[in-house]
Structure 1
Amino acid sequence: MASEETRQTKQFSGDLNALAGNVMAAVGMADVIRTTMGPRGLDKLLVDQMGNRVITNDGYTVLVSLKTAHPVSRLLVEIAERQEMNVGDGTTSTVIMAAEMLKEGYRMTSECGIHPSRILSELDEGVDIVAEYLNSVQIQIESLKDPKVKDILKTATASKLDGRQLSNHIMLAADHLGPQSRTDLRHGILLLRRLGDDVFVDGIAIEAMPQETSVVSYISNPNVCFIKGSLEFPLPGTQIEDNERHDAERKALIDALVKNEINVVLTSAPNIDNAFKMELLTRNIALIRLSMEELVLFSRSLETPAVYGSQIISGNILPCFKADSIELDEDKNLTILRAPKSGVAATLIIGGATTETSKERMRTCIDGICGLHYALKGGVVPGGGIAELNAARYLEKKMLDGKSQNIGCGILVKGLESISRQILDNAGYNGYEMMVRLRSQPDGIGVDVATGEFINMVDSGIIDSRITKMHAIQIAVHIVKTVLKIDRNLLKDDPKEGVN
């Protein structure tokens, strides 16, 4: 095994031109969206081949709209989608941090001859130290009645379309869930998108109607259940073996629904037995067909598991949710299940003058809900890039104390500092000059971009979810490690074309 000294002096023998191209591809993607960051960030006008236009400052929306052939650029888009799926926000921060770290990593490799493997291992050490710092400064949000809840929403939606108005809608939905309610807001607050005005529903709004709408007039205080899988008989997995298996299973399932006083059946069954539908109708049980994705979403929202028909027959026990009422809006093709006060779910129907406007307003709501969800789950830290800047200073102190390796951690410091600098640049300040002044300030002190004065970010209501920030840092480091580890770009053989 090579000694530590030998390992540290090992020169990179890969293709520097390939590495440079990969790094520049990532930097190019970051340059497209970096001016969107912060409360004074600028918008992008996206135009497709049909001439449809979208004006947005959402980094994720911009990235997934770009047509790019470079594999590293496409990798960034895929990772941005992962960030969006996992925490719903932080895409722009992730890409900007990754780009800054890649530039510094390339410089260390090309100019100083540092081998990428050394950088990769030391980056992981730096991430652990940053996590340690953010955990130490986080502030817990006790409930939805905490005054900081409004601050979280304000920060998450500040630069978005109709951010103030939509954050009020989110607060209305959160208030419906009650002060001691679930913290799983990503499933507790549902979003639908329609043209027109915004609408709040104290329950769940389903974009589907019952198989027979007249049944609803007979239902009050409905019990709702979720059935997944087939509703064609015989059912898969049942144990009934008599000669009239179809009728026996159908009767057993109907009897179980009646015994549990079910009034509304939500199902993802692609095909439904006609005799079963008629039997439900005679018993005034509403049947609504959903997609599998909708079934999973609504069952999570109402905290009621979906079960197979065979499970109902064999166990004769059926989880259900008791709603206040069921209403139909046939003009809008909506079925509305009203939830009790301090219910488990609420729906925001997000409107807009155009389809693209409603989509952008929907993105604003997603950012706000996700920010609030993860703040309740993991606490908050100073916003405006200050948590990252303070974490960078903490990491530098560890480096000076000799408690961490300098190269990989130094690269991570560059990435962490880039967030606050970019926000200041976008607000019209000289980011580098302001950063010099910021470094001499105590932890938690940032810049009011409206006045240029130094303020306490938490006291001023500028806060972000710790989980979102930490996830953005981890994903940015993942991008850096992936790109720096590539020493050759090779074109795969295509047997269809017969070309290497």
Structure 2
Amino acid sequence: MQRGLPMQPTVLLLKEGTDTSQGKGQLLSNISACMAIADTLATTLGPRGMDKLIVNERGDAEITNDGATILKLLEIVHPAARTLVDIARAQDAEVGDGTTSVVLLASQLLKEVRGFVEEGISPHIIVKGFRKASQLAIDRIKEIQVTVEKSDPERFRSLLLKCAATSMSSKLIHSEKTFFSEMVVDAIQCLDQDELNEALIGVKKITGGGMHDSMLVKGVSFKKTFTYAGAEQQPKQFTNPKIVCLNVELELKAEKDNAEVRVEQVSDYQAIVDAEWEIIYRKLDAIEKTGAQVVLSKLPIGDLATQYFADRDIFCAGRVADGDLKRVVQAVGGSIQSTCSDIQPQHLGTCGQFEEKQIGNERYNFFTDCPKAKTCTLILRGGADQFIEEVERSLHDAIMVVKRAVRNGDVVAGGGAIELDLSRHIQQRALEVSGKQQFIMLAFAKALEVIPRQICDNAGLDSTDILNRLRNKHQRSGEKWFGVDVDGTTGVRNNMDAFVWEPSLVKLNAIASATEAACLILSVDETVRNPQSEQQNAGPRAPPGTAQRALRGRGRGMGRR
């Protein structure tokens, strides 16, 4: 050390114990984490995909092959890998289907460029190539997608049925996809075709019976609510009833905590009791004068009101779920009233038939033949609770797919056909590009083949042989709709002619989301872990009283601010 030169001070930038990982090693580690997730989901893809049994810390079991559901139940903590969880959820919320495909595609994109990263090629060059190839793929889908005209109702309904059946072909209910496809399309066509709000499709699950016992109610149905003894004396069936929906409590309630009323004589106490009874009777009389035969309320309807309505041949139900009550209003008309004093005729709804029926071990209230039926209810039957919940998830995916098909009406062939055509198209266009970009675009084209390859592997087919034959069809013969055939003997077929159709929006969203996720992960070259958050999440338990002291200290700090 030279004399006279001041010693450079050590600068402590991060908290002691902070873990920092950066550079090429960190990028490769993130890619490996994403590939591990893809390996978990890969076997669930396609019509012959397998299911996953996931058990949580409480011992509750879930059986599913829906990509977004699996990733949510796995509770992935790796910061980079959580990007794949986010794109799966986004795909599920936006389109409803293709959650497994988008995760596999993003992971395969990273796998294909892993060698380039190891060789020292800048991630920015890779990202630029990915974005260019992605735009080529999106433009190609828009160029070759098939539009079905909505002017022909029969043909358009056939399109929706095929899209729903294709969505269910990889689900647990694939053996009954014809039955459930009809149910899903009928449900979508019950809605207002301008809004298509899927929240107005109610789903009720009743254990017992078989899948074919499931039904679609064109109207509203919900489970019989908690009732008092007088409810059994009420009529359980009406034709063209007037229906009033309330947000009013019809119950004698005890006084609130710490309430105090001072009286000097018994007559004063009796006056208070009489006033309370007078208030509720005034409400009940006002409801009866409206002529309503069915009274529904979001709040409780007590034993006094129940018996009052039973004596006057009026049906009542209290504690109706908020969603069910809103769908009743959508179906029968009228509006939810927060007071009983000024209920006008226009505030009442009506339906063709009201009935309380037994389904399995449960009793359900049915509102059918509704004049303003912009809502419907799916009643699902099955053996085990896990099975019924998987049926619900499968139908949700199909409903979202049919909804998108109604909005757009543009379809492409499934079964890996569109991915192989995009791969061929990008390979041809990549040859027109010079420099490193060409290799990146070729890697993107190769990554697209993961979808047909995985469908073959899951179906027990020879993926190498099938893909070679499909490449020959696409490259030489120009058969852009040829894809994997898991049912036949040849292994390949024209999936457009075989009616394996998917809304083009599913593929557009999947390719865009997968590309964005891959680019995001490639742009991260450093991860910084806060030691305090690590200790809170997975570290040793703190000594007793530490948390209380920390909270008290935080409170004092907030007070000073």
Correspondence for 2:396: 366
Distance 1:195 1:283, change over 3 A: closer
What is the distance in 2 between the residues matched to 1:188 and 1:410? 45
1:292-371 matches, within 5 Å, as: 292-295=322-325, 302=331, 309=338, 318=347, 320=349, 322-329=351-358, 331-340=361-370, 344-371=374-401
1:202 lines up with 2:233 in the alignment = no
Indicate how the Cα distance of structure 1 residues 316 and 159 shifts in structure 2: closer, same or farther if over 3 A, else same. same
What are the superposed Cα offsets for residues 315-374 of structure 1, whole Å, 9 maximum, x if unpaired? 996485635324344951422212359954443322222222222233332333333332
Deviation of the 1:206 alpha carbon: 0.9
Alignment-derived partner of residue 270 in structure 2: none
Distance 1:365 1:254, change over 3 A: farther
1:202 maps to a residue whose letter is: V
CA distance in 1, matches of 2:81, 2:162: 34
Once residues 412 and 28 of structure 1 are traced to their aligned partners in structure 2, the CA distance between those partners, rounded to angstroms, is 20
Partner residue of 1:132 out of 121, 139, 144: 139
**Among candidates 178, 186, 190, match of residue 198 of structure 2:** 186
Percent of residue pairs identical = 24
CA gap of 1:113–1:202, structure 2 versus 1, over 3 A, is same
| 2:203 aligned counterpart, secondary structure | strand
Question: How far is 1:192 from its partner?
Answer: 1.8
2:415 paired residue among 367, 370, 384: 384
Which residue type is aligned with residue 417 of structure 2? I
Matched residue type, 2:518? V
CA, structure 1 residues 315+225, in 2 after alignment: closer, same or farther (shift >3 Å)?
A: closer
In structure 2, relative to structure 1, the CA distance for the partners of 1:50 and 1:128 (3 Å cut) is same
From 419, 428, 435, the counterpart of 2:460: 428
Amino acid at match of 1:393: R
* Inter-partner Cα distance in structure 2 for 1:464 and 1:221: 42
Shift of 1:396: 3.7
Instruction: Between 279-288 and 428-437, report the one with greater CA deviation.
Output: 279-288
Counterpart in 2 of 1:494? 532
Specify the alignment match of 1:5 in structure 2.
Answer: none
1:168: how far off? 0.4
Measure the CA separation in 1 of the matches of 2:465 and 2:490.
Answer: 12
The partner residue of 1:437 within 458, 469, 485 is 469
Aligned with 1:480: secondary structure? Answer: helix
Deviates more, 1:64-73 or 1:405-414: 405-414
Structure 2 matches for 1:455-474, cutoff 5 A?
A: 455-474=493-512
In structure 1, how many angstroms separate the alpha carbons of the residues matched to 2:223 and 2:520? 42
1: CA distance between counterparts of 2:250 and 2:80?
46
C-alpha deviations, 1:16-71, integer Å up to 9, x for none? Answer: 22222211111111101102211222333444556665554333343333254322
Where does residue 62 of structure 1 map in the other structure?
A: 70
Corresponding residue number in structure 2 for 1:393: 424
Q: CA deviation at 1:98?
A: 0.9
SS of residue matched to 2:449: helix
The aligned amino acid for 2:452 is S
Equivalent residue of 1:147, what SS?
A: helix
- One-letter amino acid of the structure 1 residue matched with residue 161 of structure 2: K
Corresponding position of 2:98: 90
Structure 1: tracts of 5 or more residues without a match: 1-12, 233-243
Distance verdict in 2 for CA 1:496–1:169, change over 3 Å: closer
- 1:349 is paired with a residue whose SS is strand
Relative distance call for 1:218 and 1:168 in structure 2 (3 A) is closer
Please say if residues 188 and 346 of structure 1, whose CA atoms lie closer than 8 Å, have aligned partners that are also in contact: yes
How far apart, in 2, do the equivalents of 1:451 and 1:427 lie?
12
AA aligned opposite 2:457: D
Distance of 1:350 and 1:82 partners within structure 2: 26
Within 5 A, what are the aligned runs for 1:251-270? 264=294, 268=298
Give the aligned residue type for 1:168: F
User: In structure 1, what is the equivalent of residue 518 of structure 2?
Assistant: 480
Q: Which structure 2 segments of 5+ residues have no match?
A: 1-20, 252-274, 540-561
Of 130, 149, 159, 1:148 maps to 159
State how 1:148-187 maps to structure 2 within 5 Å: 148-172=159-183, 174-175=185-186, 182=193, 184=196, 186-187=198-199
SS for the counterpart of 1:489 is strand
Between 219-228 and 437-446, the greater mean CA deviation after superposition:
219-228
Distance 1:482 1:110 in 2: 18
In structure 1, C-alpha distance between the alignment counterparts of 2:379 and 2:468, rounded to whole Å: 46
Aligned equivalents of 1:123, 1:254: Cα separation in 2? 71
Cα distance 1:176–1:488, how it changes in 2: closer, same or farther (>3 A)?
A: closer
Retained in 2: the 8 A contact 1:167–1:365? Answer: no
1:141/1:376 contact within 8 Å kept:
no
The 3 A distance-change label for structure 1 pair 315 and 43 is same
Instruction: Specify the alignment match of 2:239 in structure 1.
Output: 220
Work out which of the two has the higher radius of gyration on C-alpha atoms and give 1 or 2. 2
Q: Which letter does structure 1 place at the counterpart of 2:110?
A: L
Counterparts of 1:454 and 1:497, CA distance in 2: 54
Deviates most, 324-333 or 456-465: 324-333
Q: d(CA) in 1 for partners of 2:117 and 2:298?
A: 54
Give the 3-state SS of the residue equivalent to 1:36 in structure 2: coil
Structure-2 change in CA distance of 1:375 and 1:96 (3 Å)? same
Q: Is 1:36 paired with 2:36?
A: no
Within the candidate set 8, 20, 36, 2:28 is matched to 20
Give the CA deviation at 1:481. 3.0
1:261-280 to structure 2, matched below 5 A, reads 264=294, 268=298
Q: Distance in 2 between the 1:392 and 1:419 partners?
A: 11
State the match for 1:6 in structure 2: none
Deviation at residue 444 of structure 1 after TM alignment: 0.8
Higher deviation after alignment, 92-101 or 203-212: 203-212
Cα-to-partner distance string for 1:84-116 (whole Å, 9 max, x where unaligned): 233322111011001011223443333242233
| One-letter amino acid of the structure 2 residue matched with residue 395 of structure 1 | I
Give the Cα separation in 1 of the matches to 2:190 and 2:301.
41
**Aligned pair partner of 1:447 in 475, 484, 502:** 484
Residue 356 of structure 2 aligns to a residue in which SS?
strand
